[in-house]
Amino acid sequence: MQEGIIGIVIIAVIVILVLSLFFRFVPVGLWITAYFSGVKLKISELIGMRLRRVSPSLVVQPLIKATKAGLVIDTGELEAHYLAGGDINQVIDALIAAQRANIDLEFEQAAAIDLAGRNVFEAVQVSVNPKVIETPIIAGVAMNGIEVKAKAKVTVRANIERLVGGAGEETIIARVGEGIVTTVGSAKAHSQVLENPDSISQTILRKGLDSGTAFEILSIDIADVDVGRNVGAKLQAEQAEADKRVAQAKAEEKRSLAVAEEQEMIAEVQRQRAKVVEAEAQVPLAMAEALRSGNLGVMDYYKMKNITADTDMRNSLSGNKDRSDS
């Protein structure tokens, strides 16, 4: 009797394990949900998703959403997009939003936009409700050297056809900045830009800055215009300072040359004085030779000494010194 009860328990446990494994591998609950939602799927298709390592819920739930919205989408396309790394929910939401807004958007196009790394649902929203892109403060310099700072608000609408391969918001901001700098730089005076800020918008719009981008520019509004630095005056001051430094360097060079020349002249004077001293040293020798040869008498010598002494006395009385002593 006990052996029969144990056998029944073992069989029940095995049945429960088999059923749990079956329902775990075969999403019967998901199939029932899809069936009553109007999505015609076979159990074999769900099993095939499991074998292909595709989560059935990530495919069936968006498929139910699309069916309820009246979209006809093949299950294989959803599986292929999932296996390619795409976001099925985002694509389905974008298709539903496009259908409600009467925008022509096919599944292949939406899937391509999603795989390109763009938010296709947000793109559909921006195409219905335009987006405002605010640029940072951009500075330009007018011809009179005054800096003008401007900030613009660009209203854009997404262009679905150019989302794949089209440039993004950074390109729009860069092109608008280029237009602001060009307009301010071509103005003769900064007052012209301050009086007519709409000239910046007109110049930018005429250039067709939205070509090659994923957006269509609807309007460009200048939100703020301010006067910045006097760049011209600053450049002139810097140039004057540079010229001053150059003049100082040249003057210092001339002064150095003059000092060097003065030192050379002092050295030359010393050389000439040495020659004079050398010449004066020859005088006593010449006088001695004259005395020996009889060309100079003793009385003549004493007369010369008296004259020299008299001259020295007069110089001492007048406060002058002999140049040879200096």
For 275-302, what is the HEC assignment? HHHHHHHHHHHHHHHHHHHCCCCHHHHH
Q: Of the candidates 128, 144, 167, which is a domain's last residue?
A: 128
Cα separations in angstroms, 168 against 105, 209, 213, 216, 240: 20, 12, 6, 11, 45
The CATH number of whichever domain residue 177 belongs to comes to 3.30.479.30
Domain boundary among 71, 98, 128: 128
Q: Is residue 314 part of a domain?
A: no
What percent of the chain shows pLDDT beyond 70? 87
Q: Give dist(CA 228, CA 180) in Å, integer.
A: 15
Q: What is the mean pLDDT of residues 281-299?
A: 76
Q: What is the mean pLDDT of residues 2-6?
A: 66
Measuring CA to CA, which residue among 177, 166, 168, 167 is closest to residue 135? 177
Q: How many CB atoms lie within 10 A of CB 101?
A: 13
pLDDT score, position 324: 43
Same structural domain, 162 and 62: no
Which residue type does 50 have? Answer: R
Of the candidates 231, 253, 273, which has an alpha carbon nearest to the alpha carbon of residue 145?
231
Same domain, 117 and 150: no
Are 18 and 112 within one domain? yes
Mean pLDDT of the chain: 80
The amino acid present at 283, given as its one-letter code, is V
Residue-wise pLDDT for 175-212, tens only, equals 888 888 888 888 888 777 777 777 777 777 777 777 77
Q: Reply yes or no on whether the pLDDT at 44 is more than 80.
A: no
DSSP E strand boundaries for the chain:
131-134, 138-141, 146-158, 215-230
pLDDT of residue 13: 67
Average pLDDT over residues 10-17: 69
Q: Is residue 321 part of a domain?
A: no
* 123 and 1 both lie in a single domain: yes
Could you say which DSSP state residue 150 is in? Answer: E
The answer on 187 and 112 residing in a single domain is no
- In a shared domain, residues 74 and 182: no
**Residue 263 is assigned to a structural domain of this protein:** no
Q: Is residue 262 part of a domain?
A: no
Domain assignment of residue 211, yes or no: yes
Distance of alpha carbon 27 from the chain centroid: 54
Same domain (yes/no): 114, 154: no
Determine, yes or no, domain membership for 183.
Answer: yes
97: pLDDT strictly greater than 60 = yes
Going by the DSSP 8-state scheme, the letter that residue 161 receives in this structure is G
Both 5 and 117 in one domain: the answer is yes
Q: pTM to 2 decimals?
A: 0.54
Total domains present in the chain: 2
Residue 220's CB is within 10 A of a number of other CB atoms, namely 24
Residue 310 within a domain: no
List of residues 6+ apart from 249 with CB closer than 8 A: none
What letter would DSSP give residue 208? Answer: T
Residue 214 to residue 162: CA distance in whole angstroms: 5
- Cβ atoms within 10 A of the Cβ of 154, count? 25
Reduced to 3 states (helix: H, G, I; strand: E, B; else coil), residue 121 is: helix
pLDDT per position as a tens digit, 149-166: 888 888 888 888 777 777
pLDDT at 127 over 60: yes
Q: What is the pLDDT of residues 212-229, one digit of tens each?
A: 788 888 888 887 888 877
Say how many CA atoms lie within 13 Å of 157 toward its Cβ: 8
Are 143 and 165 part of one and the same domain?
Answer: yes
**What is the token pair recorded at 19?**
């059923």
Token pair, residue 104, equals 């022509």
Residue with tokens 């020798």: 285
Looking at 128, 152, 174, the residue that finishes a domain is 128
* Mean pLDDT for the stretch of residues 32-39: 76
Name the band, by pLDDT with cuts 50, 70 and 90, for residue 322: very low
**pLDDT given for residue 326 in this prediction:** 43
Task: Judge if 159 and 188 occupy the same domain.
Answer: yes
Give the domain extent around 221.
131-230
- Region 285-312: mean pLDDT is 76
pLDDT at 22 over 60: no
pLDDT of residue 323: 45
The CA distance from 209 to 111, in Å, is: 27
Mean pLDDT of 33-44: 76
Q: 250 in a domain, yes or no? A: no
Q: Quick one: 18 and 56 in the same domain?
A: yes
Q: What value does the mean pLDDT take over residues 101-125?
A: 86
Instruction: Examine the domain organization and report whether 97 and 178 are in the same domain.
Output: no
Closest CA relative to residue 95, chosen from 116, 113, 80: 113
**Of 148, 152, 147, the residue nearest 223 (C-alpha):** 152
Band of residue 7 on the pLDDT scale cut at 50, 70, 90? low
207 within 8 A of 162, measured Cβ to Cβ: no
